[in-house]
Amino acid sequence: MTEPTPRAPLAERALAQRVLAVPPSGIRRFFDIAATMQNVISLGVGEPDFDTPREIIEAGVESLREGRTHYTSNYGTIELRRALSDHLFRLYGVRYNPANEILITVGASEAVDLALRATCDPGDEVILHEPSYVAYVPAVVFAGGTVVHVPTRFEDDFALDPAVVEAAITPKTKGLFLGYPANPTGAVLTDAQQDALADIARRHDLIVYSDEIYDRLVYGDYRHRAFSSLPGMFERTILMGGFSKAYAMTGWRVGWLCAPAHLLEGIVKIHQYGIMSAPSVAQDAALVAITGGEAAVETMRAEYDRRRRLLVDGLNRLGLATFEPLGAFYAFPNITSTGLTSDEFVERLIQEEAVACVPGTAFGPSGEGHVRMCYATSYEKLEEALGRIERFLGRLKAERAS
Ligand SMILES: Cc1ncc(COP(=O)(O)O)c(C=O)c1O
């Protein structure tokens, strides 16, 4: 028997460096505080307050009753892939082959993870705008890649400047990650910005990872375009989306990833070995969502729009300058006038007025001075929240004056 090599105790080296490098989600911390309090109005979690529309639930129930309780194809059911192919073609004019260019995933979350794990080698750089959704940085790091942040700022309406993106490119850049409409800012990409980014991707031969989960939740005159529908982008774009937000299906855990066949072939391997297939019941429900859910999507979108106007106008009226979000369901007020940091603001607002929101820093360094408030909660609760925020701001003002 050979003597074991002396090394540090297992507890000190069990977790991989890339896992240790990622902090826990900055969103969850405040949920734990909220969970211990009564009468909390939560503007924290990014999920619809609506239940899944009835006909979609019925489709799920029916699926189970019919005994459709087995694994599906690794790619997802062919019915859902066909319907999704038609859906994306109808909305955006981009056609994916249901046989080998569409993968049904466990939410857009899995799609993001797969896209990066399938394409990043150690040392590869991925350019990412920030502030942006909390899962993007960990997904790159877990994949062994390196994030290169490109800031967006309140002063520029959180617009992503293509020139700044281009300046961040190095010989190690593998791709550009875009999450638009954006969580947490609600910013969207204009056609001109998209065209310029597409031009950069073409010239520098980059992959474009495009998380478009909020594609259906846009407001005013804004019209979403799928990034892969732009000239020359199909071949290099990994398009990701899902049912959670537009169809109020967060708990069903179903989403999608579309990519040209040569990329999808590799991506499917990770899904195949790690997941097998998305839940069969959720896929059957999603089929009804995509084929018959349009009216429900529009009803919910119109209601989010009403709430968006209430919250954004209300925050601006209270002196918290808030950029007008054109997509998703978040407001991202600037709270610097209070003299508090994002963390302090969130901590005090929940302790003193039982309103939960998320510090902007959870989404990247440029989020300092902001907090994220989700308006996928009832109009009445938003009115009440605004009243509480007004009282809170009044108290802060009085404190500063004394
Ligand atoms: C931008 C963005 N992408 C992906 C997700 C994850 O969505 P899913 O429920 O489809 O995994 C979220 C959820 O908040 C999100 O905001």
Per-residue pLDDT reduced to its tens digit, 306-328: 999 999 999 999 999 999 999 99
Q: Using a 6 Å cutoff on CB, does residue 184 contact ligand 1?
A: no
pLDDT for position 35: 79
Domain presence at residue 92: yes
User: 255 CB less than 6 Å from ligand 1?
Assistant: yes
| Distance of alpha carbon 354 from alpha carbon 385, whole angstroms | 9
Residues 53-99: pLDDT tens digits?
999 999 999 999 999 999 999 999 999 999 999 999 999 999 999 99
Selection from 344, 346, 342 nearest residue 365 by Cα: 342
- Euclidean distance between CA atoms 11 and 197, whole angstroms: 45
**Whole-number pLDDT of residue 26:** 65
The per-residue pLDDT for 263 is 98
User: DSSP string covering 62-73, please?
Assistant: HHHHTT--S---
Note whether 226 and 373 are same-domain residues. Answer: no
Residues 253, 219, single domain; the answer is: yes
Residues 71 and 85 in one domain: yes
The Cα 112–Cα 253 span in angstroms is 14
- What pLDDT does 28 receive? 67
Q: What is the CA(107)–ligand 1 centre distance, in A?
A: 7
Counting other chains too, the contacts that 351-355 makes at CB distance below 8 Å and 24 or more residues apart are: 351/33, 352/392, 352/395, 353/388, 353/389, 353/391, 353/392, 354/37, 354/38, 354/39, 354/40, 354/41, 354/388, 355/40, 355/41, 355/43, 355/385, 355/388, 355/389, 355/392
Amino acid at 65: R
Residue in the block written with tokens 């297992």: 10
Query: Does some domain include residue 1?
Result: no
Token representation of residue 89 = 């073609």
- Helix, strand or coil, per DSSP, at residue 164: helix
> Which DSSP state fits 5?
P
Final residue before a domain boundary, out of 257, 292, 327: 292
| Residue at which a domain ends, from 243, 259, 292 | 292
272 found inside a domain: yes
pLDDT of residue 402: 82
pLDDT per position as a tens digit, 16-61: 998 898 887 766 667 777 778 889 999 998 999 999 999 999 999 9
Q: What is the pLDDT of residue 401?
A: 87
End-to-end, the C-alpha distance of the chain in Å comes to 75
The pLDDT assigned to 132 comes to 98
Q: Which of 28, 133, 189, 224 to mutate to test the pocket of ligand 1 (most atoms within 8 A of CB)?
A: 133
Q: How buried is 303 (Cβ within 10 angstroms: 0-12 exposed, 13-18 middle, 19+ buried)?
A: middle
Asked if residue 78 and residue 19 are part of one domain, the reply reads no
Q: Predicted confidence band at 248 (pLDDT cuts at 50, 70, 90)?
A: very high
Q: What's the rounded Cα separation, in Å, for the pair 330 and 184?
A: 6
Give the per-residue pLDDT at 66.
97
Helix (H, G, I), strand (E, B) or coil at 18: helix
In order, the DSSP letters of 45-95 are S-S-SSPPPHHHHHHHHHHHHTT--S---TT--HHHHHHHHHHHHHHHS--
Q: Are residues 72 and 109 in the same domain?
A: yes
Residues 42 and 112 in one domain: no
Question: Which letter does DSSP use for residue 99 in this model?
Answer: T
How many domains is the chain partitioned into structurally? 2
Note whether 84 and 256 are within 8 A (CB).
Answer: yes
CA of 71 relative to ligand 1 center, distance in Å? 24
Domain CATH code at residue 32: 3.90.1150.10
Q: How far is CA 140 from the centre of its chain?
A: 14
Between the CA of 288 and the centroid of ligand 1 the distance, in Å, is 21
DSSP state, 39? S
For residues 361 and 216, state if they share a domain: no
Identify whether 4 is part of a domain.
no
| CATH number for 229 | 3.40.640.10
Same domain membership, residue 193 and residue 107: yes
The domain of 258 spans: 55-292
User: Out of 45-49, 213-217, 238-242, which region has the weakest mean confidence (pLDDT)?
Assistant: 45-49
In angstroms, the CA 231 to CA 304 distance is 32
Euclidean distance between CA atoms 228 and 202, whole angstroms = 12
Boundary-marking domain end, from 271, 292, 313:
292
- What is the per-residue pLDDT for 374? 97
Query: Quick one: what percent of the chain has pLDDT higher than 70?
Result: 99
Per the structure block, which two tokens stand in for 326? 């054109």
- The single-letter code of the amino acid at 328 is A
Q: Does residue 183 have its Cβ closer than 6 Å to ligand 1? A: yes
pLDDT digits 0-9 by tens, 328-348: 999 999 999 999 999 999 999
Specify if 111 maps to a domain: yes
**pLDDT band per the 50, 70, 90 thresholds, residue 1:** confident
Residue 105, ligand 1, Cβ within 6 A:
no
Alpha-carbon gap, residue 123 to 16, rounded angstroms: 17
